[in-house]
């Protein structure tokens, strides 16, 4: 498989570079290693002190964020608890979204995440937004920040800020919880804001009636003539056309059995096709007596209406959009949303309000997508995720006030262990069942 070769080449290149740096002792004050993971750090973090000027509003923001994170944490835990039994009863094959490579959020390896500038920039922005949240609230709560940096394992897989351990240990209750929750809060807030901006941008685009052939019907004239999907019809019998209405006006004057010469452009290349028209199938044409080419068009106005209906879902719209890359790139059912994710042929059917419009839409989508998923995942109450540390601090303070401190570690370990097991089962169940089926088949 091509993706495995690409991954192996990237891993090999990374390991050679990392080994060379480590073996030669290069950049000792800037680079350190955690096993195979390389951390590039800097201690120039004084600019975080500036945020201490805004302690009151930032604490209020972080406190509201804690409430939101607790709600998201409860939702994610409930979703895991409900999903795992269903997966045990109806275990799918390890293909599609359950393919092992799709567990990894690596662009180009995960089938739902293409390698585009918008994806890479959105991922890096998400990492920075998350870690800066921790650093800013650490200073607001008078915890020192020692360093910050990037974690690299083939590609940037994370970022980090390093608060002073003594200051973190000394902090108790809400100051500590606000600091741990700030990264998640930032991710969710920025994610929602990016999706809102994306919807506003789409509202600025004007759908056009370009005769863009989205597909052809099997065993009908266009298919038999070899007309490919996503071609733009530019002329019929030598008459130029620029809209679906102009095509329809010409076709209304034809009859089944007539031959027409169709010119169409795809990827900048114009080709000519000869079609012998058929009659309209009853399911489409009813009593129409004109000739039928056997094509269906991309309907940009309908797509804009569909996107508007998604926006009307309110706070449920971002949750709906989290499955859009899976639906478009893995399931193959775009629901007309692929245009939000990457460059597609459909863009010719839209009038762009300003240069680089679609690149801006894609950046807004992927920044929102990564932020929302990273925030929701980190809210899961598993140590060492941020949600786990928030849960740990909350349980310890709750039990401490009642004189039950000795029970707190057991409760934290039980909650974290149970949720961890649910998450592992959710990820590995398709692969485990497939392995068992293979062994039984061999037996």
Give the model's pLDDT for residue 162: 84
Task: Give the pLDDT confidence of 301-336 residue by residue, as tens digits.
Answer: 999 999 999 999 998 999 889 888 888 777 766 557
Whether 286 shows a pLDDT value over 70: the answer reads no
Q: Which of 107-111, 129-133, 150-154, 425-429 has the highest mean pLDDT?
A: 129-133
Is the confidence at residue 96, as pLDDT, over 60?
yes
pLDDT for res 333:
65
pLDDT of residue 87: 80
Selected from 3.40.50.720, 3.40.50.620, 3.40.50.300, 2.30.42.10, the CATH number assigned to the domain covering 212-297 reads: 2.30.42.10
63 pLDDT higher than 60: yes
pLDDT given for residue 155 in this prediction: 67
Q: How far is CA 61 from CA 68, 113, 167, 179, 189, in A?
A: 11, 32, 22, 11, 10
Top-ranked range on mean pLDDT: pick from 10-14, 95-99, 169-173: 169-173
Q: In the chain, pLDDT over 70 holds for what percent of residues?
A: 95
Supply the pLDDT for residue 326. Answer: 84
CB atoms within 10 A of CB 354: 8
- Residues 17-56 pLDDT 10s: 888 888 778 877 788 777 777 888 888 888 899 999 999 9
Q: Do residues 44 and 145 lie in contact, with contact meaning Cβ atoms separated by under 8 Å? A: no
Interatomic CA distance for residues 393 and 47, integer angstroms? 28
Per-residue pLDDT, averaged over 63-69, amounts to: 96
Euclidean distance between CA atoms 38 and 267, whole angstroms:
42
Which two structure tokens, joined as six digits, stand for 336?
């007309």
Average pLDDT over all residues of the chain:
88
Mean pLDDT to the nearest integer, 338-357: 93
Q: Give SS3 for 149.
A: strand
Question: Strands 206-207 and 350-351, how do they pair?
Answer: antiparallel
Per-domain boundaries in the chain: 30-201+365-442, 212-297
Q: Highest-confidence range of 117-121, 188-192, 382-386, 420-424, by mean pLDDT? A: 188-192
């Amino acid at each position: 498989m091509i993706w495995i070769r690409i991954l192996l080449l990237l891993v090999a290149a990374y390991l050679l570079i990392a080994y060379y740096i480590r073996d030669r002792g290069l950049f000792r004050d800037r680079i350190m290693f955690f096993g195979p993971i390389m951390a590039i750090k800097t201690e120039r973090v004084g600019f975080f002190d500036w945020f201490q000027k805004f302690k009151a509003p930032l604490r209020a923001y972080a406190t509201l964020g804690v409430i939101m994170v607790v709600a998201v944490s409860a939702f994610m835990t409930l979703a895991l608890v409900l999903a795992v039994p269903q997966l045990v009863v109806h275990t799918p094959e390890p293909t599609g979204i359950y393919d092992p490579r799709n567990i990894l959020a690596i662009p180009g390896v995960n089938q739902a995440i293409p390698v585009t500038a918008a994806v890479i920039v959105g991922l890096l922005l998400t990492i920075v937004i998350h870690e800066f949240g921790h650093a800013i609230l650490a200073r607001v709560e008078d915890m020192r920040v020692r360093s910050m940096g990037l974690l690299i394992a083939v590609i940037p897989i994370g970022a980090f800020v390093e608060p002073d351990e003594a200051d973190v240990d000394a902090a108790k209750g809400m100051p500590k919880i606000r600091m741990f929750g700030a990264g998640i809060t930032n991710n969710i807030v920025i994610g929602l804001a990016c999706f809102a901006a994306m919807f506003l941008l789409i509202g600025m685009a004007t759908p056009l009636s370009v005769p863009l052939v989205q597909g052809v019907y099997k065993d009908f004239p266009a298919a038999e003539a070899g007309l490919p999907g996503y071609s733009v019809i530019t002329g019929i019998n030598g008459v130029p056309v620029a809209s679906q209405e102009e095509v329809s006006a010409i076709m209304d004057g034809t009859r089944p059995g007539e031959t027409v010469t169709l010119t169409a452009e795809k990827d900048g290349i114009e080709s000519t096709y000869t079609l012998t028209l058929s009659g309209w199938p009853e399911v489409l044409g009813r009593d129409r007596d004109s000739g039928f080419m056997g094509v269906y068009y991309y309907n940009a106005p309908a797509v804009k209406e569909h996107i508007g209906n998604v926006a009307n879902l309110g706070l449920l719209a971002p949750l709906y959009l989290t499955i859009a890359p899976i639906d478009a790139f893995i399931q193959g059912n775009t629901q007309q949303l692929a245009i939000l994710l990457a460059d597609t042929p459909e863009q010719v059917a839209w009038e762009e309000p300003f240069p680089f419009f679609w690149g801006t839409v894609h950046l807004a989508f992927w920044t929102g997508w990564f932020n929302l998923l990273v925030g929701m995942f980190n809210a899961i109450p598993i140590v060492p995720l941020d949600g786990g540390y928030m849960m740990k601090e909350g349980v310890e303070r709750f039990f401490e006030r009642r004189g039950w401190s000795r029970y707190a570690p057991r409760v934290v370990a039980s909650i974290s262990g149970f949720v961890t097991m649910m998450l592992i089962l959710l990820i590995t169940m398709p692969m485990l069942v497939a392995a068992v089926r293979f062994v039984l088949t061999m037996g």
